[in-house]
Amino acid sequence: MICRIGSVVRSGQAVTVEQQIDAERIRAAITRSGPGGGHPSDCGEEPAVRIDCADPTPVHEYVGHIRPEMGLRARTALAVAGRTRGLDTPHDEEIERLEAELSSITVEESDLEDHREALADERRKLQRAREAVAETRGRLAASREHGLETDDLEAELRRRIQELAELETTATAATQRHEQHQAAARRRRDQRERRFALEDELENRRRDARRALVDQLEGEFAAAVRELSERQLDDPFECRPALAGLAVARLAEYDAPIVLETSQFESAAAARAWLGGPVLKL
């Protein structure tokens, strides 16, 4: 690793950063390192940070920055660490199969919203037109009863009935369109149902795999925690997140540095020796 902060350049597997600098900027520089990652200008902040190193592994998402106030899902992180060491589980084949099946199911999205809105609109217009016909009929009947002139009202009624007939036609068409879309939506829901079942199944198998990985590594993890912890713990997973993070990092294999903000180790070199991987100590 080569770490450049401003004009200070340090290289090697154990680097101590003397300057006051935000750990997030260091992490960002590690993440965008590696081939093809390029080096954007670090938002013009000073001093410029540039770190040349290998690509971070998935375990860096959990223990890439170890600090006293961190949170950690220790079992999940331990399972990820196991994967960096190339550990397998009996569930891997099934997971691969489920992932493949899942990616083969695609559900298209639709514009159902518009059809429902158009349908509701047509039905409202239709309702209003029906009411208008009924109302005109009522007025016509009343006029006849009173022996009044009805020519205008008869003309109005004919016009309103004509309007109603036209609206009925468009409403019927809207209903048909809506029904077609509903049928399509039902088919899509069947696909979603299948996908959902697979997702659940996959998540269950992944959980099984995590458990299997944790089972394989638990002993080593407990031993690592014991080396760090002053007090004896019944359950090593109950230890402080920073300690668990260090233990996970020790069990993982990685070539990109881990950023340390703990007082656990006297020097970057000591941390590097214990963790077995590159370290950037702040």
Partner 1 sequence: MLLVITYSRDARQSLRNICRTHEEIVRRQFGRVALLGETEFAAFQVIRLREKHGEAVQVEQTDPFNEFERVPDPVREAARAYEDRDRAAVPYTAFAAGREFPSPEQMKETEL
Nearer to partner 1, 138 or 196 (CB): 196
Stretch (H or E) spanning 180 = helix 151-228
Could you say whether residue 215 binds partner 1 (CB under 8 A)? no
* 110 sits near partner 1 (criterion: CB under 8 A): yes
Verify binding: residue 103, partner 1, rule CB under 8 A: no
- Shortest Å distance, C-beta 129 to partner 1: 25
Residues paired with 280 in a beta bridge: 15, 259
Site membership for partner 1, residue 200 (CB under 8 A):
yes
Q: Does 102 bind partner 1 (CB under 8 A)?
A: no
Instruction: For residues 171 and 44, give the distance between their C-alpha atoms in angstroms, rounded to a whole number.
Output: 61
Q: How far is the CB of 191 from partner 1 (least distance, A)?
A: 9
As given in the structure block, the two tokens for residue 222 are 């407990």
Other CB atoms within a 10 A radius of the CB of residue 138 amount to 10
DSSP 3-state of 199: helix
Element (H, E) at 4: strand 2-5
Q: Which is nearer to partner 1, 206 or 240 (CB)?
A: 206
Of positions 188, 206, 211, 240, contacts partner 1 by CB under 8 A: 188
Considering only 34-42, 197-205, 231-239, 262-270, which stretch makes contact with partner 1 by CB under 8 A? 197-205
Q: At what angle do helices 112-145 and 151-228 cross, to 10 degrees?
A: 150
- Least CB distance from residue 169 to partner 1, whole Å? 24
- Of positions 25, 39, 192, 211, contacts partner 1 by CB under 8 A: 192
- Per CB under 8 A, the list member of 70, 95, 112, 132 interacting with partner 1 is 112
The reply to whether 182 sits near partner 1 by the rule CB under 8 A is no
**Count of residues near partner 1 by CB under 8 A:** 14
Q: What is the identity of the amino acid at 216? A: Q
What is the pairing mode between strands 65-66 and 49-52?
A: unpaired
**Beta 2-5 vs 8-11: how paired, if at all?**
antiparallel
Q: Site for partner 1 (CB under 8 A): which residue of 168, 199, 220, 255?
A: 199
List, in order, residues 6 or more apart from 12 with CB less than 8 Å away: 1
Give the span between the Cα atoms of 177 and 169, in whole angstroms.
Answer: 12
The site for partner 1 (CB under 8 A) is made up of 107, 109-110, 112, 185, 188-189, 192-193, 195-196, 199-200, 203
